[in-house]
Structure 1
Amino acid sequence: MLELSFTAADVAYTRFALSPLWEVVASVRVLKSAVTHDLHGRWVVQARDRLRGFDWRPLGDLVPTRVIPGFLCPPPTSPLPDLDSELAILRATPAEQVAREVAVIPEITSVPPEVDALAEMIEEYWDRALAPFWPRIQRLLEADVQYRARRLTMGGASALFADLNPAVRWREDRLFIDHVTLSARRGLRGKGLLLVPSVFAWPRVSSITVPGWQPTLRYPPRGVAELWVDRKVTPPQALVGVFGTTRARLLAELDNPASTTDLARRTGLTAGGVSQHLTALKAAGLLSAHRVGRQVLYSRTAVTEELFRT
C-alpha cells in the first residue's frame, strides 16, 4: 500500500499529461506477457506481425514485469508531448544514471544499449507497432483527461479519484494506492501529482514517488475495454455526401491501419485507384501513412476519428 499525503498546494498543482514514450514502454511489457493482457489481444497480434524482422529485444530486456528503470520513461514535462521531445530527454540521460538505475533491478541481466541507440530502437518500435494506432489511442486518452478535469473542477480531489481505479482511494487529504511490491507513506513535496492515463497500463496502476521526478500516477483510462473493438465499417451517409461513396468507404475500412493492397482486396478497387484516393485523403489531413518494412500502412488521423464517432 502506498499512501500519498496532499497539502493544499499539492491539490492545486495536480495536473494531467499524456506520454507516448510511456505507452511504448508499457506496450513492450504487454507484448512480453500477452497471456495476461487479453484486452489488448488484437493489438498484440498485429504488433507482433509488424515487428517481425526487427530485433527489439534490447528494449524488452529493459522492461521487467514489475519495476521499470526511471530513465526509460521519465514523467512528461508538458501536457501533450510528442515522442521526439520525450526521446530528447532520454538521450540526455548520463551513462552513470543508466548504469545506477539498471544495477538495482535484479530482473535486468543484460547490458543496456547506449541512450542514442536505445532512442533509435524506440523510434523504430514506435513506427511499426504504435504510430498507426496512435490517433485512436490519443483520442481515448484525451477524452479521459477531459472527463477527469471536469470531475476535479466540480467536486474536487474526492470526485477526481472516486472512480479512477479500484486500486486508488481518496480519504481526507490522502490518496491510498494498492501496490503489490510497495508499502510506504510519502508526501508530494508541494509538487502536486501528475496523472497520466495509459491504455497499456491496464489493468493496473503504477506510480513514481522517488526524489528527482515529478510524483506521478499512471492509470487505465475510461473506455479502454472498447479500444480495439471494431466499429462500423459502413460510412455514415453524411460522410458519403461530402467525400463520395468510394472515399467514405476507404475511410471506414481504415478502422484499423491497412495497406493499399489490403484495401484493394477488401473493396474490389484496383490498387492504383485506391492509391490515388489515399493520396488525396492524406493531402487533406484525413489520413497518415507509416512505413513498416516494405509496406506503407494508412490510418485515420485524429480529425477523421472524430468524424466517425457515434
Structure 2
Amino acid sequence: MVELRLAPDDLSAIRFGLSPGHELAHAVRVLVRPQHHPLQWGWLRSTRPRVPREAFDLLRLVVGEVGYLPDFLTSTPDWDLTPDEELERLRRADVGPMRVDLGKRVLRTTGHEQRALRAMAADPARTRTRVADAWETFWEAALAPHWSQVDRLLRADIAARSRRVATHGVGAMVATLNEAVTWGSDAVRVRTERHEEVLDCAGSGLVLVPSVMSAGCAVLTERPAQPTLFYPALGVRETWTTDGRDLPAALAAVLGDGRARVLLALREPMSTSEVAAGTGLAISTASHHLAVLRVARLVDARREANRVMHTLTPLGEALTTR
C-alpha cells in the first residue's frame, strides 16, 4: 500500500496530466507479457510485425517487465505535453538521477542483463543518447500510428473525471479511479504489489494521469517529482485501435460533413481562423458551423485577449472519442 497524505493545500492542487513516456514504457511491457494485457491484443496484432528489434531490446532492458519503472523515462506529466516534447526532455535529462535509476534496475536483475545495465550506468551520457534514439524509433513504429486514438481516450477520460468532480466532488472522483485506489479524509491510498510507502504531499498536490497501455495503477513518489498516480483510462477495450475508423463518416451522416470536420479538428482550443485552416473551410463557414455546434452544446467558446477560443464540451468529447 502507498499512502499519499493530503493537506488542504494539496486538495486544491490536484490536477490531471498526460504522459507519452508512460504510454511508451508500458507498450514495451505489453509486448513482453501480452498474456497479461488482453485489452491491447488489437494493438499487438497491428504493431508486432513492425516493432524495431534493436530499439525494443534496449528499451526492454531499461524498462523491465514489471515493477519499478525508471523515472527518467517519463518527465512531469502535463495537459499539453506532446510526444516530441517528451522526447526532447529525455534527451536533456540529468545524467545524475539517470545513473541512480539504472542502479535500481541493476539491483533488480541478474546475469547478462545486470552486466549490461552496469555498463549503461557507468556511462550515463552515452546511455541517454542510446535510450532517446531507441525511444524515437520505437515510438514512430509502435505508437505514432495510434497516438490520435490514445490521445482522445486519455482526454475523454479526463473530461469524464472532471465532470464527476463538478457533480460529486474530488473524493468521489478519486474513489472511482480504480479498484486499487481508495479515498480517505486525509489521504489517497493505492494498493500495490511490491511497494509500501507513506508520503506527505506537503502542499505539492497530486497529479492524476490516465493510461491506455497500462492495466494497473502505479505511483511516482521520488522527489523532486510531484507525487503522481497513474491509473487505467476509461473506455479501453480490445478493439480500441479500430473503433474510430468509421467515426468521421458516422459524424458526417448525423451532423453534416462540415460540422463533423469542425468537431474532429477541435483536439485543443482553437480560434475560428485556426479551425478554418485546419478543416479547409472558409472562415465564415467555420464560424457558422461553430455557432450551430455551440447551440447544440457540443462546443464552448471563451474570449482570450482579442481572440475567441473554441473547445469541445464534455458532450462533444464523448461524440468524438475514437
- State the TM-score, normalized to the length of structure 1: 0.73
Identical amino acids, percent of aligned pairs = 31
Q: Which amino acid aligns with 2:233?
A: P
Would the alpha carbon gap of residues 94 and 306 (structure 1) be closer, same or farther in structure 2, given more than 3 Å must change? same
Letter in 1 for 2:193: V
Q: Aligned equivalents of 2:321 and 2:195: distance in 1? A: 40
Q: Which residue of 2 aligns with 1:83?
A: 83
- Which moves more between the two structures, 114-123 or 168-177? 114-123
Distance 2:165 2:254 in 1: 40
Q: Residue type matched to 1:63 in 2?
A: V
Q: State the match for 1:92 in structure 2.
A: 92
User: For 1:17-70, what per-residue CA distance to the aligned partner results, in whole angstroms no more than 9, with x for missing partners?
Assistant: 111121111111111111111110111122111215654211111111110111
Deviates more, 1:5-14 or 1:45-54: 45-54
In structure 2, C-alpha distance between the alignment counterparts of 1:240 and 1:7, rounded to whole Å: 48
2:63 aligned residue: 63
User: Cα 1:187–1:45, aligned 2, differ >3 Å: closer, same or farther?
Assistant: same
Q: What are the ranges of 5 or more consecutive residues in structure 2 without an aligned counterpart?
A: 121-125, 262-277, 281-311
Which residue of 1 is the match for residue 224 of structure 2? 212
Secondary structure of 2:179's aligned partner:
coil
Residue 213 to residue 240, structure 1, CA distance change in 2 (3 Å): closer
Instruction: Could you tell me which runs of 5 or more consecutive residues in structure 1 were left unpaired when the two chains were aligned.
Output: 249-282, 286-302
Provide the rounded CA distance (Å) in 1 between the counterparts of 2:208 and 2:321: 26
CA contact (8 A) 1:4 1:187 kept: yes
Identify the residue that residue 124 of structure 1 maps to in structure 2.
137
1:236 equivalent in alignment to 2:250: yes
Amino acid corresponding to residue 16 of structure 2 in structure 1: F
Cα displacement string for residues 72-110 of structure 1 (whole angstroms, at most 9, x for unaligned residues):
11332x312111212222122233322221112223622
CA distance in 2, matches of 1:116, 1:194: 28
Q: Conserved in 1, the CA contact under 8 Å of 2:13 and 2:204?
A: yes
* Alignment counterpart, residue 150 of structure 1, candidates 120, 138, 163: 163
* 1:205-256 CA distance string (max 9 Å, x none): 000112211100000111112624646759439449966xxxx9xxxxxxxx
| 2:43 match: secondary structure | helix
Taking the aligned partners of 2:15 and 2:130, their CA distance within structure 1 comes to 32
**How many Å apart are 1:117 and its aligned residue?**
2.6
CA deviation map 1:111-149 (0-9, x unaligned): 345212321221111111111111111111101111111
Mean CA deviation greater in 215-224 or 78-87: 78-87
1:72 and 2:73 matched: yes
1:190 and 2:203 aligned: yes
Count of equivalent residues: 256
Q: Distance in 2 between matches of 1:57 and 1:198?
A: 23
Secondary structure of the equivalent of 1:217? strand
Secondary structure of 2:226's aligned partner = coil
Contact 2:212 2:232 in 1 (8 A): yes
Answer 1 or 2: which has greater helix percent.
Answer: 2
Distance in 1 of aligned mates of 2:70 and 2:205 = 22
